[in-house]
Amino acid sequence: MPLGGPALTYGELELVRQWILAGAPRQGQVVDPTVLTDTTRYVPQEFKALQPPQNGVQFHLGPFPVQPNFDREFFYYEPLNHSEDRFIKRMEMRLRPGSHHFILYTYRDDTPYFILNGVRTQARTYRDIRDANGNYIGANLFPMQFQQFFAGTQWPALDYHFPPGVALRLPAGKGFDLNAHYANRRDSEIEGEVYVNLHFADPEEVEHIAEVLFLNNTDIALPPKQITTLTKTYTTHQRMHIFQLFSHAHEHMTEFRVEIVGGPRDGELIYIAYDWEHPPILEIDPPLTLEPGQGLRLIATYNNWTDRTLRFGLLSSDEMMILFGYYYTDSVTGLESGESAVVPDRFALQPNFPNPFNPQTTIEFDLPVATHIHLAIYDAAGRQVKVLADGLFTAGRHRVVWNARAYSSGVYFARLTAAGRQWTRKLLLVR
């Protein structure tokens, strides 16, 4: 196809997409030609300010400078003074050209006071993660380990409505740390700017709380001058209804696929992305229901054209392999005005009970988002003796029971691994 011609129509793009999914055969017809009747073409939206929502809140960043040939990423804390939970039914975002991503983060309840206080005292100031020479600023990076994803996009324009009766909960008293990342590949300075509107829902209309799906594979090592495909499988232990998915990777990603694992649709491709800068946002209606034991398989291909091994990192020249999304469970909120939905706001491994115990004890752990976890028992010498849970768990409090009938008396440790962090509890088995 010669360069310089008009952009492909949506119908032509759909034909190519279906042809690729059919294996890109050289002969035969595998696509219904009626898809070509859609002759509309993508027209980039002009960046312009958003009008503030009638019932909601607006955030505005910039304009701010991005120096030539530089990745500028920063945080900007916006305090909120709401005394009751808010529920978000619609999100609008507008990003000036040159943006890599924009994310809204909250902070977990277990964030140390000195960290959260340090962020709050710098409210409405730009906290860059790198200085003008490209060196990381540790004081601005450290709070990231306590952040919790709320919403975000890589698209220059987003207007998303949650399904009827579904809303995203913003806990009372929470503020947002706004995270903007611009990648300037030009030899001249550019301007960045972001608008965000969050539209509030009437609590009485909320039937299901939207929970965040966050599947993050940090085990990335891409050899230089090679094409590498990474695969990571996540299985769930609870029934969940997924209604949105979108991927996140960096500039070396050439393909990002998601398949269903288990059940009657085992192996079915449900998501595919080729554009790392603007990954598609898949809206699933009706939602994809995963039963316990089923899950998702992430398959990402990268072309490392550099002379160095690429690993997980924050720069657009590093790499990532993340699947975001939203889902809800079968529980119905029954919320009334002023009432809160009980969802953990932090990762936690609760004290086991009873303790000391003989022969069994109950261990509970809290997850603020759906993610892959590993919960295991270790003896006093540090040897793993029992895996209690390993897989994709939904947000909420979870309970497992360890029956230690086959183990001798002594000190043991329960260790929870989730989202790149670990929590440990001491257990005492007494015969």
Q: pLDDT digit string (tens) for 263-283?
A: 999 999 999 999 998 899 999
Q: pLDDT digit string (tens) for 68-109?
A: 999 999 999 999 988 889 999 999 999 999 999 999 999 987
Paired with 191 in beta bridges are: 65
Q: Name the percent of the chain in helix, strand, coil, to the closest 5.
A: 10, 50, 40
Q: pLDDT digit string (tens) for 158-171?
A: 999 999 999 998 98
In this prediction, residue 314 carries a pLDDT of 78
Predicted confidence band at 150 (pLDDT cuts at 50, 70, 90)? very high
Average pLDDT over residues 354-367: 91
User: What's the longest Cα–Cα distance across the chain?
Assistant: 79
Whether 338 has a pLDDT exceeding 80, the answer reads no
Whether 349 has a pLDDT exceeding 60, the answer reads yes
Superfamily for domain range 348-429: Intracellular proteinase inhibitor BsuPI (2.60.40.2360)
In this prediction, residue 340 carries a pLDDT of 36
Predicted confidence band at 156 (pLDDT cuts at 50, 70, 90)? very high
Q: Order across the sheet with 360-367: list the strands.
A: 348-349, 360-367, 396-403
The CATH architecture of the domain made up of 218-338 is: Sandwich (2.60)
Q: pLDDT digit string (tens) for 115-139?
A: 999 999 999 999 999 999 999 999 9
| Residue intervals in the chain for CATH 2.60.120.230 | 218-338
CATH class of the domain at 52-206: mainly beta
In this prediction, residue 334 carries a pLDDT of 39
In this prediction, residue 20 carries a pLDDT of 84
Whether 299 has a pLDDT exceeding 90, the answer reads yes
Identify whether the C-beta of residue 248 lies closer than 8 Å to the C-beta of residue 318: no
Residue 243 sits at the vertex; the CA angle it makes with 242 and 248, to the nearest 5 degrees, is: 85
Q: Which of 148-162, 177-191, 271-285, 330-344 has the lowest mean pLDDT?
A: 330-344
Q: What percent of the chain has pLDDT over 70?
A: 95
Predicted confidence band at 4 (pLDDT cuts at 50, 70, 90)? low
From 148, 113, 125, select the one nearest 75 (Cα to Cα): 125
Q: pLDDT digit string (tens) for 18-75?
A: 898 888 898 899 999 999 999 998 777 789 999 999 999 999 999 999 999 999 999 9
Give dist(CA 389, CA 391) in Å, integer.
7
| Mean pLDDT of the residues in the chain | 90
Strands 166-170 and 208-216: parallel
Q: Which long-range contacts (CB under 8 A, 24 or more apart) does 262-270 make?
A: 262/235, 262/291, 262/293, 262/294, 262/295, 263/290, 263/291, 263/294, 269/21, 270/245
Identify whether the C-beta of residue 149 lies closer than 8 Å to the C-beta of residue 105: yes
Average pLDDT over residues 185-211: 94
Give dist(CA 208, CA 327) in Å, integer.
9
Q: Which of 227-231, 288-292, 338-342 has the lowest mean pLDDT?
A: 338-342
Whether 333 has a pLDDT exceeding 50, the answer reads no
DSSP 319: B
Predicted confidence band at 3 (pLDDT cuts at 50, 70, 90)? low
> DSSP for 194-249?
EEEEEEEPPGGG--EEEEEEEEE----EE-TTEEEEEEEEEEBSS-EEEEEEEEE-
In this prediction, residue 376 carries a pLDDT of 94
